[in-house]
A = this chain, B = another copy of it.
């Protein structure tokens, strides 16, 4: 009875899957109903023209066992999205999107990663963070370097047969490690320089690869490691990757580390801080000034700009309003659109979110450098 129910369940999932256009479910067309009892049935989903297709297993998105595990509980959650997005972006250089599909990492489990993220000690010889050295002074203690570890799998294949073509591992390294000198005492922090992040990160990368090579399934595939610098607790924008390298199949060495040039900039700048690009800053300032003049109750305009190889690639702007009226939102949104066209850089992706603190009221966006502006007012017209 239980098996019958299981078969029914799988059948209904498969029926559902065939119903949505973007699923590529080659199994279904070529196999008879006996295939419904196979333990693995793969489907892939399309994630847009520039992204990876995602591999589903028995009709389900497969999550990784190590999602969200951190060494301390003092990390900044704004890092999370960039930690993941950045590793996908790096992987595109190594595992082409046309032939590879994405799956969240399936080889590392939470027990293993919890041990790896701990300090090395008699009880935890696998710990990748250094043993305590007795010092509680910010500059002489051993900080927690490795805050988080992420695994992504890239596979090639078709139908019911997919095999691993490579692994990507992200190592999230603290730039500030927060600690207490006494239980329940105040927090102090040890700053970790980029040079120290780099030397610790490169060393740890090879340790991780060597450990992965001990597993039969991972002996023979390229392994790419990205080094990510986490932000401090007060940052409004996520950290970024600063280097990556790949160990070829069978090797545990990364012979060449390549730089990743990514930078987030928040506008307006605080105090006398200088913006990364004064030209983008003045465009933003003009845009901000224009929309603030039109409407009462615009309480904040903040820009989050992402640079890649020194070029502005994404400009996200959050406009906080205390608007009351339906027509006020309508007309303000159209004005924002026209001011964006007039003032902001034309050859970058733009997202402008209009709303109160917890509620998006409208959205003006430009998906890529080449596309046109789109407008959406929440709730319909």
**Using a CB-CB cutoff of 8 Å, which residues 325-381 of chain A contact chain B?**
325-328, 330-332, 334-335, 337-339, 341-343, 349, 351, 353, 358, 360, 363, 365, 367, 374-376, 378-381
Q: Which residue of B lies closest to A332 (CB)?
A: B61
Task: Report the Cα distance A97→B316, complex, angstroms.
Answer: 33
Q: Within the complex, what minimum Cβ distance (angstroms) separates A4 from chain B?
A: 19
Q: A331 with B47: in contact, given A294-B61, A374-B374, A376-B351 (CB under 8 Å)?
A: yes
Task: Report the Cα distance A60→B337, complex, angstroms.
Answer: 17
Stretch at the interface among A16-24, A138-146, A194-202, A274-282: A16-24
A47–B325 CB distance below 8 A: no
Q: Which residue of B lies closest to A62 (CB)?
A: B296
Residue among B56, B326, B358 making CB contact with A88, cutoff 8 Å = B326
B380–A46 CB distance below 8 A: no
A22–B338 CB distance below 8 A: yes
Residue among B50, B84, B343, B379 making CB contact with A381, cutoff 8 Å = B50
Residue among B52, B337, B358 making CB contact with A327, cutoff 8 Å = B52
A203 interfacial by beta-carbon distance below 8 Å: no
- 0 or 1 for each of A103-139: is its CB under 8 Å from B? (1 = yes): 0100000000000000000000000000000000000
Q: Which residue of B lies closest to A103 (CB)?
A: B327
Q: Within the complex, what minimum Cβ distance (angstroms) separates A142 from chain B?
A: 30
**Using a CB-CB cutoff of 8 Å, which residues 47-86 of chain A contact chain B?**
47-48, 50-54, 56, 59-61, 63-64, 67-68, 80-81, 84-85
Q: Which residue of B lies closest to A358 (CB)?
A: B358
A294–B60 CB distance below 8 A: yes
B296–A327 CB distance below 8 A: no
User: What DSSP secondary structure best describes chain A's contact surface?
Assistant: mixed
Q: Which residue of B lies closest to A355 (CB)?
A: B360
A306 interfacial by beta-carbon distance below 8 Å: yes
Q: Which residue of B lies closest to A340 (CB)?
A: B20
Category for how many chain A residues contact B: 35 or more
A324–B379 CB distance below 8 A: no
- Inside 8 A of A68's CB, which chain B residues have their CB? 324
B88–A327 CB distance below 8 A: yes
Q: A20 with B353: in contact, given A295-B61, A327-B84 (CB under 8 Å)?
A: no
Residue among B84, B286, B294, B341 making CB contact with A56, cutoff 8 Å = B294
A380–B56 CB distance below 8 A: no
A376–B349 CB distance below 8 A: no
Q: Which residue of B lies closest to A85 (CB)?
A: B326
A208 interfacial by beta-carbon distance below 8 Å: no
A183 interfacial by beta-carbon distance below 8 Å: no
**Using a CB-CB cutoff of 8 Å, which residues 254-275 of chain A contact chain B?**
none
Residue among B48, B343, B351, B376 making CB contact with A367, cutoff 8 Å = B376
Q: A54 with B331: in contact, given A290-B20, A376-B374 (CB under 8 Å)?
A: yes
Q: Within the complex, what minimum Cβ distance (angstroms) separates A266 from chain B?
A: 14
Q: A290 with B331: in contact, given A351-B380, A365-B376, A380-B306 (CB under 8 Å)?
A: no
Q: For the A-B complex with A22-B338, A53-B331 known, give 7 more contacts whose Cβ atoms are closer than 8 Å.
A: A12-B293, A22-B334, A47-B331, A52-B327, A61-B295, A64-B325, A316-B379
30 A-B contacts (beta carbon < 8 Å): A12-B293, A17-B293, A19-B290, A20-B339, A22-B335, A45-B331, A45-B335, A47-B327, A47-B331, A51-B327, A51-B330, A53-B331, A60-B294, A61-B296, A61-B328, A63-B296, A63-B324, A63-B328, A67-B324, A84-B325, A84-B326, A88-B326, A88-B327, A102-B327, A306-B380, A314-B380, A351-B379, A367-B381, A374-B376, A376-B376
